[in-house]
Every structure is written in structure tokens, then in C-alpha cells.
């Protein structure tokens, strides 16, 4: 059985990586921090021109009709450059939710998303605050056991600070006039699916962030001299980087498996929680060890490392923190009749 990505998927990842690395530079990210909205409309237009804003939008609504499995590699590349724009949220959370809701709401908004003409964000009670609510044309919000859709003029926003300057977080109050789109069991299903999609997006970005921090540190320690030798030649530094590389490598397969489970419509809660835990642990270890390898320079605003460290810290507590995801895994594996062990590993994979 072949679990590798296809040549087309890998080529697409490579082309997106080349674009993002060239366009989403640390200098451009810093420049966006100085703007009122913290976002770069020109960059969003570039993403739309490449078709990335419509990558998971169904073809019937003007998109490419790709799945979470197709997008997960691209989400890693978004993490590699610490992309501030809400591409991952749009492709993995907002679009799948709108597609599941269907009807007039999907018909109205999915073509606009595909064309890069509108941004839709989803806010769940799990996250407490809503990222990018200030630039959203439509917000789909959890209100208790109900989901409502509200346009920008139907909400009141209160800004909340984040450790990551690229994240713009808001408490959202809904004014009268918002549309109820789901209640009860239907809303619960949509909320659970959105949580899994959001956690997968965090896991994939965490992989990219960890790799970028390794790359930055390898470059820094190969140039920084101490006792007449590059710092990176010292065994202690090599061990720090090797420990991160091992943790990162072992986090990739669970993340890709979680994307497969979501794309194939299989039970994905345990797979997603596993991915979120191991990927964010790898990114957090990368932040710790890479900062140590940088020394005191790692804390300074001028060094690029902090851009990626802060995003890794923020993502670790978004769409469910470690405690939440460990509890989900525990509930699953300790349940009566849980399918565990080598004999059950491939039992449900077609």
C-alpha cells in the first residue's frame, strides 16, 4: 500500500514554496505589523492570482476542488514563512464549513472566496477569540449550541493582544440580525468538523515553523564564530538540532495521516489530536533549542527567529491546547472495545 504523496502534489508544494519564500519575507511581515490592519492586501491578491484562495473550493463554485490531503503540504509551507494572511484558515476551516452548510450561503460566498474577493472566518467557543475578525466579510460564529452567520456590520469587535504580532485577535459580540444557520446535532457536527480542520491546520503550520527555525539556526551557527570555530561545529549545538530534527520527522506522518482521515471522511478526532500534539511539541522544542543556539541574540527584535517562535507558541494553544487533545486521545484509547495494537493499524484503511 502506497502512502506517499503524488508527484503532482509534491510539484505543487515546491512551486508554492518558491513563491512564498520569495514573497513572504521577514521584512514584509514586519512591514505588515506597522499597518492598521496588520495585513497585506497586495499579498492576498497574489495568492488569489495563483488560485490558492480557491484551492479547496468546489469546482462548481469556481475553485480547484482539492481536499485537505492536497492542501496539507501547502499549509506546511505557509508555516515555513509564518504567513500572516488567513489562507490556511480559509482553505481548511471556512471553505469546508461553508461547503457542508451548502444552500444559498455557500452559493453566495464560495465563489467570492475562490476569486479572493471575500474573506470568511469561523469562530468557535473553543478558541474564545476570533482571529482576523477585523478583515472578515462574513463571520460564522458559535453561540452556545448554535451557529450564526454575521456580516461585518452585524458584529462588534474588541481587540485582544497576542504574543505573535502577526495574529490579530478579537472578542466578537453579535448584533441583532445575524442569521441562524444550524442548531442542535447539525451545529454540533459542523463545530466538531471545524475544530478538527483548524487543529490540522495548526499541526501542518507547526511542521513548517519547526523546519524554518532549524534552517535559520543552522545558518546562524555556521556563521557565528567562537574560539576560532563556527558555533555550529560544537557537538552540543549539533545535538540540539538533531533532537529537533528527529521530533520533526516523527511528527510528519501523524499530520499527513490526519489529513488523509479528514479527506477520506473517516473518524478523525484521534488522528487530528495526535497530529496537533506531536507537531506542536516539535515546534516548541525547535523554539527552545534554536533560541538556545542563538544565545541572547534569539530574544532580540532584529533577529528573525522570534517571528517563528512566537507563531509556534501561539498555534500550540489554538484550536485546542495540549490538555484538550491529550484528553481526546485518552477518551478514545481507553474506551471499551478500542481498536488498538498492530492488528488494528491498517484495518480501516482502504
**280 is a domain residue:** yes
| Element at 264 (helix H, strand E) | none
**216 is a domain residue:** yes
Give the CA distances from residue 62 to residues 88, 121, 158, in Å, rounded to whole numbers and listed in that order: 18, 19, 34
Over pLDDT 70: what percentage of the chain?
A: 93
How would you classify residue 302: left for phi > 0, otherwise alpha for psi between -120 and 50, otherwise beta?
Answer: alpha
Q: Which three cell numbers stand for residue 338?
A: 478500542
**93 is a domain residue:** no
Sequence-separated (6 or more) residues with CB below 8 Å from residue 245: 214
Sequence-separated (6 or more) residues with CB below 8 Å from residue 144: 125
CATH, residue 207:
1.20.140.10
**330 is a domain residue:** yes
Domain that includes residue 269, residue range: 187-336
Range with the poorest average pLDDT among 21-30, 125-134, 139-148, 298-307: 298-307
What is the number of domains present in the chain?
1
Q: How many Cβ atoms from other residues are within 10 Å of residue 100's Cβ?
A: 14
**125 is a domain residue:** no
Q: Residue with C-alpha cell 533560541?
A: 291
Give the Cα separation of 208 and 170 in Å (integer).
26
Closest alpha carbon to 265 in 117, 65, 67: 67
Give the Cα separation of 130 and 133 in Å (integer).
6
Is the pLDDT at 331 greater than 80, yes or no? yes
**192 is a domain residue:** yes
Over residues 224-241, mean pLDDT = 62
338: Cα within 13 Å, side-chain hemisphere: 12
pLDDT-based confidence at residue 162 (cuts at 50, 70, 90): very high
**34 is a domain residue:** no
Say what the pLDDT of residue 337 is. 78
Is the pTM above the cut of 0.85?
yes
pLDDT-based confidence at residue 348 (cuts at 50, 70, 90): low
Q: Residue with C-alpha cell 457536527?
A: 189
**254 is a domain residue:** yes
Amino acid at each position: 500500500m502506497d502512502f506517499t504523496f503524488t508527484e503532482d502534489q509534491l510539484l505543487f508544494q515546491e512551486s508554492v514554496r518558491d513563491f512564498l519564500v520569495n514573497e513572504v519575507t521577514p521584512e514584509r511581515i514586519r512591514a505588515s505589523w506597522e499597518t492598521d490592519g496588520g495585513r497585506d492586501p497586495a499579498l492576498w491578491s497574489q495568492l488569489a492570482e495563483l488560485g490558492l484562495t480557491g484551492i479547496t473550493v468546489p469546482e462548481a463554485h469556481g475553485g480547484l476542488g482539492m481536499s485537505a490531503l492536497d492542501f496539507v503540504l501547502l499549509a506546511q509551507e505557509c508555516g515555513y514563512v509564518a504567513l500572516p494572511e488567513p489562507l490556511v484558515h480559509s482553505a481548511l476551516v471556512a471553505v469546508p464549513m461553508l461547503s457542508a452548510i451548502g444552500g444559498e450561503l455557500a452559493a453566495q460566498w464560495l465563489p467570492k472566496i475562490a476569486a479572493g474577493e471575500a474573506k470568511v472566518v469561523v469562530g468557535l467557543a473553543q478558541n474564545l477569540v476570533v482571529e482576523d475578525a477585523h478583515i472578515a466579510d462574513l463571520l460564522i460564529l458559535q453561540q452556545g449550541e448554535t451557529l450564526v452567520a454575521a456580516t461585518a456590520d452585524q458584529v462588534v469587535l474588541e481587540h485582544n493582544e497576542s504574543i505573535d504580532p502577526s495574529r490579530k485577535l478579537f472578542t466578537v459580540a453579535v448584533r441583532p440580525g445575524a442569521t441562524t444557520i444550524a442548531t442542535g446535532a447539525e451545529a454540533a457536527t459542523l463545530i466538531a468538523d471545524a475544530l478538527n480542520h483548524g487543529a490540522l491546520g495548526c499541526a501542518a503550520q507547526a511542521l513548517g515553523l519547526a523546519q524554518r527555525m532549524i534552517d535559520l539556526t543552522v545558518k546562524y551557527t555556521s556563521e557565528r564564530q567562537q574560539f576560532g570555530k563556527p558555533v555550529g561545529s560544537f557537538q552540543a549545538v549539533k545535538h540540539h538540532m538533531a533532537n529537533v530534527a528527529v521530533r520533526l520527522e516523527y511528527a510528519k506522518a501523524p499530520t499527513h495521516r490526519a489529513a488523509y482521515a479528514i479527506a477520506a471522511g473517516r473518524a478523525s478526532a484521534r488522528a487530528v489530536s495526535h497530529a496537533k500534539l506531536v507537531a506542536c511539541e516539535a515546534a516548541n522544542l525547535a523554539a527552545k533549542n534554536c533560541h538556545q543556539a542563538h544565545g541572547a541574540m534569539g530574544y532580540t527584535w532584529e533577529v528573525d527567529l522570534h517571528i517563528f517562535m512566537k507563531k509556534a507558541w501561539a498555534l500550540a494553544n489554538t484550536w485546542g491546547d495540549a490538555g484538550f487533545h491529550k484528553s481526546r486521545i485518552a477518551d478514545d484509547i481507553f474506551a471499551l472495545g478500542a481498536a488498538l495494537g498492530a492488528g488494528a493499524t491498517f484495518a480501516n484503511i482502504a
